[in-house]
Structure 1
Amino acid sequence: MAIVPIIWGDDMAPFDSVTARLILLLAETGSIGRAAEREGIASSAVSRRVSDLESRLGVVLFDRSAQGVKLTTAGQAYAEGCRAVLRSIADLDAVMAEFGSGQRGSLRLACTSSALTGRLPELLAKYAAAHPGIVLDIQEMGAAKGLVALDEGRADIAIVSDNYDFTRFEVRPFEDDRVWVLAPPDHPLAASIQPRKDILFETVIDHAIVGIHHAGSLDRLVGDAAKKAGKPLIENVRVESFPALVRMVEADFGVGFLRSTSLHLLAGTDLVCAPLAEPWALRQLLVARRKSSPLSAAMKSFIALCNDTYSPSV
């Protein structure tokens, strides 16, 4: 009996996961150049893949302009389908791993910088010692990107700040992470900062501040609080990291805000600090996972360790 090879026509082309990931990357970056750079391929190759896909599907997936590319309505539907398929592929890999010996596997974590400067490193060391066959893949990223990584199946667990939409996720507390204000010792606000005593946000808001990481969780918290107070933030300068924020406050560019997990950065400085008194400043880091994702043995043991070692602040 002769074996007839299957030839895919334009109307029967198989799903291409590489192109699917490119579509999602273009949707995220809004730029063919940046997407090509991230993937380490030529911009022309990215354009050709997208054009070939649009030709095969008979729809336009992206609006193109001098400012970049943006998903059309059809493109949004296709991107969501890509996410669903890639999630299913990632989930299948996780399920297949459970058929192994049970002694080996992997755990992919998306973690904010706040998590990695708090108790997480010590917890990961404890986990690694107890599970030497589990390969840890730890990625540092902002909370919003961490939740996207969960959605797209690129992470099993995310440890993120609590001021996001967690409708699609299962969450539990990981670490309490209060917001503090810090100032140089000769700053006018310093006289209002007393050891172990809360300070009101309204006492702080009239002073110039050093901003941190635009659209990050801490930036959103402080910005929302200022809007509710009906006062604009006086931002002298903006930085992208907490060590840089501490240095700029030291240089008297303004007061700053830090989470309690980052207070160790004040070691060796003469800065004064105090926790904010308002309820919105009493935050938490959360352990999040996608509700529909398979709960692997590696995930179960890590979540159990997080639960056993979590100690709420009094």
Structure 2
Amino acid sequence: MAPFDSVTARLILLLAETGSIGRAAEREGIASSAVSRRVSDLEARLGVVLFDRSAHGVKLTPAGEAYAEGCRTVLRAIADLDAVMADFGSGHRGSLRLACTSSALTGRLPELLARYAGKYPGIDIAIAEMGAAKALLALDEGRADVAIVSDNYDFTRFDIRPFEDERIWVLAPPDHPLSAQIEPRKSLSFDAVTPHAIVGVHHSGSLDRLLAEAAAKAGRPLDEALRVESFPALVRMVEAGFGIGFLRSTSLHLLAGTDLVCAPLAETWAMRQLLVARRKSSPLSAAMKSFIQLCDETYLPSA
């Protein structure tokens, strides 16, 4: 059986509608002989007669009626498929797989995703929360389309753009010796905080790496009293008096309901960015393109 020929199928339906080879040929802008040849070739392949021919024109046989109905079904399916693909191509349908850090999820990402989902309800969004290194690995292995991660990694293989500015803050209990140096709207030098015991978080995470590198450059290793694996746990341990802690500005909401005091670090290295990253070699789907465009449109650089 030869493959389905949509051109011939449309001619069959046009012949059924007009009852005339001449009128069908005129409507399609082709020669009558070309129409006759297509129908004859199809009948030969199928081994059936599709039309009764007479001086008055052509009329579908019972076999022709069945074939014409099948043509309508297939052509409708093709039209529906084109419409579905057009939706995917326009970004109104599809999927978006995000790999992002906890900092991204405590910043503006949830509100942006809600806006994106409202604008593109046909796109399925899958979110995987993980460390920045694992998120970039997920991009490399094709398990994620887009990653939102901190900026202190090797991005050679990735296309990147800013997502959100963030600063590192130090926090302390109100009765801690450091709290006397924390004043509203004033930054604090890293040298002022390094003599104090700290509560560490996420070994080898981006914040941990950043602080360790800064301490190494200053020649003053951090005195880590203990380590936790989440920022809410860090806040609780600082509240309990185990030491001072560090948070990104995107996580400062975790201090709500506590009496902890905080201040931004003064050093330029403490002003960081979250980045939107994607693999340079990956095809840019409409869903990815529309998400990245929304990220660009809503990004507000710090003053």
| Distance (whole Å) between structure 2 residues aligned to residue 100 and residue 139 of structure 1 | 28
- 1:199 — aligned with what? 188
- 1:311 — aligned with what? 300
| Distance (whole Å) between structure 2 residues aligned to residue 118 and residue 104 of structure 1 | 26
| Distance (whole Å) between structure 1 residues aligned to residue 222 and residue 163 of structure 2 | 30
CA offsets, 1:136-166, max 9 Å, x none?
0010000000000000000000000000000
- 2:285 — aligned with what? 296
Q: Does 1:268 align with 2:254?
A: no
Counterpart of 1:178 in 2: which secondary structure? strand
Structure 2 matches for 1:19-30, cutoff 5 A?
A: none
Structure 2 matches for 1:64-79, cutoff 5 A?
A: none
Identity of aligned residues (%): 77
CA offsets, 1:205-243, max 9 Å, x none?
000000001000000000001100101111101000000
| Distance (whole Å) between structure 2 residues aligned to residue 251 and residue 203 of structure 1 | 21
- 2:124 — aligned with what? 135
Paired residue type of 1:190:
S
| Distance (whole Å) between structure 1 residues aligned to residue 148 and residue 224 of structure 2 | 29
1:268 Cα offset (Å) = 0.3
Q: Does 1:234 align with 2:216?
A: no
- 1:212 — aligned with what? 201
- 2:235 — aligned with what? 246
Paired residue type of 2:87:
S
**Bigger Rg, structure 1 or 2:** 2
Name which of 98, 113, 129 aligns with 1:109: 98
> Which 4+ runs in 1 deviate beyond 6 A?
none
Paired residue type of 1:154:
R
- 1:74 — aligned with what? none
Task: State the superposition RMSD in angstroms.
Answer: 1.0
Counterpart of 1:263 in 2: which secondary structure? helix
- Give the aligned length: 217
| Distance (whole Å) between structure 2 residues aligned to residue 282 and residue 101 of structure 1 | 40
Counterpart of 2:169 in 1: which secondary structure? strand
- 2:159 — aligned with what? 170
| Distance (whole Å) between structure 2 residues aligned to residue 274 and residue 124 of structure 1 | 29
**TM-score, length of structure 1 as denominator length:** 0.68
| Distance (whole Å) between structure 2 residues aligned to residue 241 and residue 135 of structure 1 | 28
Q: Tell me, which stretches of 5 or more residues in structure 2 are unaligned?
A: 1-83
Paired residue type of 1:204:
V
| Distance (whole Å) between structure 1 residues aligned to residue 167 and residue 87 of structure 2 | 42
**TM-score, length of structure 2 as denominator length:** 0.71
1:101 Cα offset (Å) = 3.4
Counterpart of 1:231 in 2: which secondary structure? coil
1:100 Cα offset (Å) = 5.6
- 1:89 — aligned with what? none
Structure 2 matches for 1:145-164, cutoff 5 A?
A: 145-164=134-153
CA offsets, 1:226-272, max 9 Å, x none?
10010111110100000000000000100000000000000000000
Paired residue type of 1:177:
E
Q: Tell me, which stretches of 5 or more residues in structure 1 are unaligned?
A: 1-97
1:99 Cα offset (Å) = 4.4
